[in-house]
Amino acid sequence: MDKAIERASRADATASYVIKGVISENINSLSYSFASNDFLLSNSTNSALYFSALLSNPSFLVGGRYHGGIAGLLLLVTPQFQPVNQMVVSEEQSSLYLRAGAVHVDAIIGEWTCGSISNRNVEDISKALGFAAQICCQRSRSLISSSGILPALAKLITGYQSHKANHSSSLSNPNSATTTAQEQGDTNRSKTQNFLTSVHPEFLQIAILAGHYRLASTFVQRHPVHAVDQHSWNYDSNTSGMNNRISNNKRSSSSSNAKPIVSSESFVRYFYYLGMIHLGCDDYTLALSAFNICLKVPANAVSAVMIAAWKKMILARCLALALDDDEEYLSSALSSSYQKKKTGWAGEKR
């Protein structure tokens, strides 16, 4: 662990350089293979070194111009924050990881927008944060709220969306010097900015675990998802530094080399959690719409999320019908009461 922290503290550190020798060369894969158990957080000494490096104030991590060292450290332990992993991560470690993700969100944005880390890397970090939030929720929801991870993830989503929208606009209008071209670019950005990312479902899941339904609902209303970004930059782990970033920028303009940014699992999970958010805010119509989207996604097999969405949709329908019955009963009762009062007034006049 101390060697990984030493690599992360160098000014020219990249994410792949930090985790070199710790995991396999393909850092885009979920199947990380650890060189030894010495890197696991089950070792109290390693755990203390790891979180001290990320959360020391002021931080001694230089992280490089693009904060690659910090992103590499966050990626280093993501395999341990998974339900399939046999290792048990403590509540304290989970809380510290949430704080680290919130503190270094700007570093993640910087690496993500320049193409130094892939969308799969960001998805791994996001899922690790979601699993850490589940562990913290078992003890207290306040651990999630106090970490600041929710506004950090919201910033991560909007920051990357804005960058992609500006990048797409600059490619479509390279000579937008006139006012008309600038207005057209603004219009294009407003249409393409609100796309789904792999961070969206984790943000909603963590908001549900923390009980912040209204916060998530407000964010969704201000940043509604209109599309799914179909392509992203490829990441070549054999290159590093500025040459890697330049090659990534060149590949980003070619759709033949692009990879999908959002998996079908993330798509389904997002709308399932979105339905849960609307259900928690008593917006039954919007909840039904979100659950319905989950069930209409083509799939070879029915997933657990789809089954849960079906159950929640039945619940939302029952609640919506009960609300309609209550409103109808209340309207009928008010109308009957008004008629009785009107009859009484007429008798008094006589």
| Mean of pLDDT values over 186-208 | 79
Closest among 223, 204, 222 to 213, alpha carbons compared: 204
| Mean of pLDDT values over 98-125 | 91
Closest among 185, 98, 183 to 149, alpha carbons compared: 98
AA identity, residue 45: T
Report whether 313 contacts 249 (CB < 8 A).
Answer: no
Any idea which of 105-114, 189-198, 249-258, 281-290 has the lowest mean pLDDT?
249-258
The pLDDT score that the predictor gives to residue 244 is 41
Between 45 and 277, the more confident residue is 277
213-231 b/e with 16+ CB inside 10 Å = b? Answer: bebbbebbeeeebeeebeb
The pLDDT score that the predictor gives to residue 261 is 65
| Mean of pLDDT values over 151-164 | 91
Report whether 220 contacts 277 (CB < 8 A).
Answer: yes
The pLDDT score that the predictor gives to residue 202 is 95
The pLDDT score that the predictor gives to residue 34 is 44
The pLDDT score that the predictor gives to residue 20 is 73
The pLDDT score that the predictor gives to residue 143 is 93
Distance CA 92, CA 47 (A): 10
Instruction: Write out pLDDT tens, residues 307-338.
Output: 888 898 888 888 888 776 555 545 555 565 54
Share of the chain above pLDDT 90, in %: 31
The pLDDT score that the predictor gives to residue 26 is 41
| Mean of pLDDT values over 1-13 | 84
The pLDDT score that the predictor gives to residue 108 is 92
Report whether 190 contacts 137 (CB < 8 A).
Answer: no
Distance CA 238, CA 226 (A): 35
| Mean of pLDDT values over 199-218 | 95
Q: Say yes or no to pLDDT of 181 above 50.
A: no
**In this structure, how many other beta carbons lie within 10 angstroms of the beta carbon of residue 318?**
11
Instruction: Write out pLDDT tens, residues 228-245.
Output: 765 543 333 333 333 343
Between 319 and 208, the more confident residue is 208
Positions of E strands within 170-232: 195-196, 227-228
By the 10 Å C-beta count (0-12 exposed, 13-18 middle, 19+ buried), 328 is classed as: exposed
Name the pLDDT band for 342 (thresholds 50, 70, 90). low
The pLDDT score that the predictor gives to residue 30 is 44
Instruction: Write out pLDDT tens, residues 57-90.
Output: 777 777 666 688 899 999 989 988 888 765 678 8
Q: How far is CA 330 from CA 268, 320, 324, in A?
A: 38, 15, 10
The pLDDT score that the predictor gives to residue 97 is 96
Rg (CA), the chain: 25
Report whether 149 contacts 206 (CB < 8 A).
Answer: yes
Tokens of residue 350, six digits = 């006589």
Instruction: Write out pLDDT tens, residues 158-169.
Output: 998 888 877 766
- Predicted TM-score of the model (pTM): 0.76
Give me the DSSP letters along 333-347: HHHHHHHHHHHHHHH
The pLDDT score that the predictor gives to residue 154 is 95
The segment with the largest mean pLDDT, out of 33-47, 279-293, 315-329, is: 279-293
| Mean of pLDDT values over 35-56 | 78
Q: Say yes or no to pLDDT of 251 above 60.
A: no
